[in-house]
Structures are given as C-alpha cells and as structure tokens.
Structure 1
Amino acid sequence: MAISSVPPLAFAFGILGNIVSFLVYLSPAPTFYRIWKKKSTEGFQSFPYSVALFSATLYLYYAFLKKDALILITINSVGCVFEISYLAIFMIYAKKESRAFTCKLLLLFNLTSLGLIIGGTRLFSHGDNRVRIVGWICAAFSVSVFAAPLSIMRQVIRTKSVEFMPFSLSFFLTLCAVMWFCYGFLIKDYYIAAPNVLGLSFGIMQMLLYVVYKDRKQQIQPQEANKDRKEQIQPQEAKIHDLNTIEGLNKALENSMNVVSNGQELEIIVIDHHDDEIPGVVVIRSKEPTTN
C-alpha cells in the first residue's frame, strides 16, 4: 500500500505510531545502562526482548510482502536494531545459565522459526494468499509480544516490587497499542489492529500493578527493620556469674543480671541510652532476698 493511498488520518496515526514505538524501543535503555554499569543482569530476563525481536522481523517480512508499506518497514527496522543491541548487552553480562537460555531462544525464534516461515510461505503460497498467511502469523506473535510481560507481572506480584517492571515501558506500550490499533483499523488491516486490543489490555494491567506495588517495598522495609530491632532488644535470660573473675565481670556487664562476689549475691543493672553521646551507666547493688 503506497503512502499516498493511505487516508490522512490513518497516515497521522501511522506517524504517531512510529514515534511512540521508537520511544517503546528506547525505554529499556536505562535498564541496560544499569546492566552495563553494574556488569550484572541481576533479575532481568531476556525473554521479552527475544520475542520482540522475532515480532519485529516478522512484521518486516510482512511489510515487504505488502509492498510500499514504508511506515511498517521503518519502525520494524529500527526495532530490530534496538532489540539486537539489548540482547548483545544482556549476553555479555548474563550468567552462564541465562546466556545459554537466551541462545536457545534466539535459535528457536529468529533462526529456526523465522527460516521455516519465510521458506514455507515462499514455497507453498503466492500473492495475496501469502500476505494473509504471514499476516495471521504476525498477529499471533504480536499477541505473544504483549503477553511476554506476564512473566514480569507475575514477578511483581510475587516480590511485591516493581523494580523489574519500568513504568515508562508499560505506559508507552499502552500508548503504542492505541496508535497502531487506530492505524490498522483505518486502513482495514486487521492483522495490525486486532492484536493491539490485547496489547492495550495488558498495558493497563501493568500500570495498575505499578500503582498497587510502587510503595509496597518502602512500607515493608521499615516494618522489617522495627521487627529486627525488637528482636535485638529482647531481654536475655538472667544468668549467675562469679564477679571475682575478670571473665565473670565482662559477661555480667553485657546485660542486667545477677552475680556473686565473696559469697554475697549482687545485682548488676546496665542502663544503656543507645546514644553515642550519652555513656551507659552501670549500677551494682545487693540483691534483695526473696520471700517465700
């Protein structure tokens, strides 16, 4: 479809879709800058980027089959460059197991599957039929791209932390889905429009999760700190030590406890202000006899 034949409103949504899609591809850049800076992939996963690369290459093939689909060719070419760059950084700093898993994904999606799709459609289909087959495959894998963040959403719910789900990515994915749905609907290309309905739904779900869990980690940390402090200041069971020895005195001073000196039972009370500027106070007194 030539650009001149695209309705003006559809062309406008196509340009906006290109701009927003570029921002979507750019949004993980801070994440990979962090990986590069820390020389570690931490808890980040390569699966969404592997699937996104496969989707971009598929739509690139679809755009070439449609002919004159410059809007699709432009953004999917950019997408391939971004995704390859991200995966290269991931492979450099990932652990051996993660690197091996990523290699398997690339072998499965971008070599085996893509090769079979291109080879199969070139051999067994022609003309518009080939375009329709590739369009259905693209639509199916677009759903996979939008569903890929489900693993990250599950991680957010499990850890109650949005650390590994950047809000910017969720926001731009949602906005991107709106733009491409409108573009596909206006040019009557439902292989583009239909999957973006699901993309919009997943994008909204991710943003809702971000709202729910963005402050949860800050709330949990003070509670854990208070719990740890309470455990630290729990009084220990009183013990009897011989005050006539240096070792006994040192042990006695650790906490308030009973001691024995020259046959007389004494009580040592340690008053700790928990302040570096105020010294602690040690009080030694005769232990009052207990009455039966």
Structure 2
Amino acid sequence: MEAGGFLDSLIYGACVVFTLGMFSAGLSDLRHMRMTRSVDNVQFLPFLTTERVVLLQTATLLGVLLLGYGYFWLLVPNPEARLQQLGLFCSVFTISMYLSPLADLAKVIQTKSTQCLSYPLTIATLLTSASWCLYGFRLRDPYIMVSNFPGIVTSFIRFWLFWKYPQEQDRNYWLLQT
C-alpha cells in the first residue's frame, strides 16, 4: 500500500470516528436532562421532541428531503450532473448544520451564559469538521472542504463564548456539597 493511500485511509477513518462522536455528543445532554429532570438550557435542535412545532418542522424537513430525492433520481438522469447537484445540495445542509448552534448566539450574549451550549458537542464538531476538511483537501474536493469549514469557524466562536462566559456549576451539585 502506498503512503498516500494509507494516509487517506487514516484520515477517512478519523472522519468516521469523529462524525460518530459528534452525533453521540448529545448523550451528555440527555444525561444532564435525566439527572436534573429539566430541559432548561439545552438546545432543542439536536433532539426530536414531542412538541407540535418541532414535529411540524421535522415533517417539513423530511418532505424537503423526499422532494430532493425525487428530484435527483427522477429528474436528473445524467449521473455526472446528478453528482454535482447532489454535492451542492449536501453542502448546503452541512453548512446549515454547522451554523445552527449560532441560533443561540444572541441568547448567550444577552444572558452572558453559555448554559445552552454543549462543550462536548463543540469539541466533537471541531474534530469532525477539521478532519473532513483535511480529507476534502487530500481529495481536492471543494464540496467537502467548503461545507465543513463553517464547523471549524463556529467551533472557535463557541470556544470564545465559553471563555468569555464560563459555564456555572450545576446548582444541584453545589447544594449537595454544602
């Protein structure tokens, strides 16, 4: 196996591991919700809940995905054109995924609290987006590089917010210690 092939395989493996880690980073938030029996200060976007508004948003997103599937497989018969358009489509969704935590930016600055941000998710997002950017660079694939770069930028913005507004310790923990 040549050195470039081994390096590509190594980077690709890191991408898969970091992506799995990023999508499982919400488990710490679930544990926190279970321990405190509260969903306060937890981002709702990574989780599907039973609220009507969120279910409507989820159903709308599923509808958009089904329309996209129908468009790409039924209306774009040329495989090369389909691949180019699908790359753009996936890039838009990846960018929106990485930008979604910034929806709470105004709340964080207004309250001067990062309680609604997840530190493990921020670390996982940085590792995932950086590894995919590196992999895209190795493949010279702009769809992979450009769509994952916002994850790096938003992670550093969130790290800055964690530094500027450190998270307070859980009040239940402090009550137990006194």
**Normalised by the shorter chain, which TM-score bucket?**
0.7 to 0.9
Q: Is the 8 A contact 1:177 1:196 kept in 2?
A: yes
Structure number with greater CO (CA < 8 Å, separation at least 6) is 2
Q: How many equivalent residue pairs? A: 166
Moved over 4 A (4+): none
Pair 1:180 & 2:136 matched: no
> What is the RMSD of the two structures over their aligned residues, measured on CA atoms?
2.0
Q: Is the 8 A contact 1:153 1:165 kept in 2?
A: no
Gaps of 5+ in 1: 1-5, 50-85, 92-98, 219-292
Equivalent-residue separation in structure 2 for 1:152 and 1:123 (angstroms): 38
Q: Is the 8 A contact 1:28 1:169 kept in 2?
A: yes
Equivalent-residue separation in structure 2 for 1:102 and 1:36 (angstroms): 20
**Counterpart in the other structure of 1:21:** 19
2:24 partner amino acid = L
Give the CA deviation at 1:152: 2.2
Q: Quick one: which of 24, 39, 42 aligns to 2:40?
A: 42
Higher strand share: 1
Gaps of 5+ in 2: 170-178
| Pairs within 5 Å for 1:142-153 | 142-153=94-105
Q: Deviations along 1:36-67, whole A, 9 cap, x unmatched?
A: 344432243323x2xxxxxxxxxxxxxxxxxx
Q: Which protein shows a greater Rg?
A: 1
Equivalent-residue separation in structure 2 for 1:43 and 1:8 (angstroms): 43
Give the CA deviation at 1:145: 0.6
Q: Quick one: which of 57, 63, 71 aligns to 1:120?
A: 71
Q: Deviations along 1:52-83, whole A, 9 cap, x unmatched?
A: xxxxxxxxxxxxxxxxxxxxxxxxxxxxxxxx
**Length-normalised TM-score, structure 2:** 0.84
Q: Percent identity?
A: 21
**Length-normalised TM-score, structure 1:** 0.53
Equivalent-residue separation in structure 2 for 1:136 and 1:9 (angstroms): 26
Higher helix share: 2
